[in-house]
Amino acid sequence: MTTTGVRRSRDDRMIGGVCAGLARRFDMRPRTMRLLFVLSCLLPGPQFVLYLVLWIVLPED
C-alpha cells in the first residue's frame, strides 16, 4: 500500500525539510514554497508554530 501523504525531505532541506516536503506534495519548487512561507510570516498568525508542529508530526523520507 502506497501513501501519497506529505513527508519531510531528507535531501533538500534548509531547516527541517517541511517546505521541501510540502513543495513536492503540491508539485512546486522548494524555493517557491520557502518564499511563500516567508511572505506568509508578514501576515498575523501562527506560521512559526505551524512549521514546528509539522516538523514534529511529518515523517521523514
Backbone conformation region of residue 19, classed left if phi is above 0, alpha if psi is from -120 to 50, else beta: alpha
Q: Which domain holds residue 27?
A: 18-57
The answer to whether residue 29 is domain-embedded is yes
Which DSSP state fits 1? Answer: -
The answer to whether residue 10 is domain-embedded is no
The answer to whether residue 1 is domain-embedded is no
The answer to whether residue 36 is domain-embedded is yes
Cell of 30: 522548494
The answer to whether residue 23 is domain-embedded is yes
Number of structural domains found in the chain: 1
Contact status, residue 23 vs residue 32, Cβ threshold 8 Å: yes
Q: Taking the model in full, what pTM does it have?
A: 0.79
What are 45-60's pLDDT values in tens digits? 899 899 999 999 988 8
Cell of 46: 501562527
The answer to whether residue 39 is domain-embedded is yes
Confidence of residue 1 (pLDDT cuts 50, 70, 90): very low
The answer to whether residue 12 is domain-embedded is no
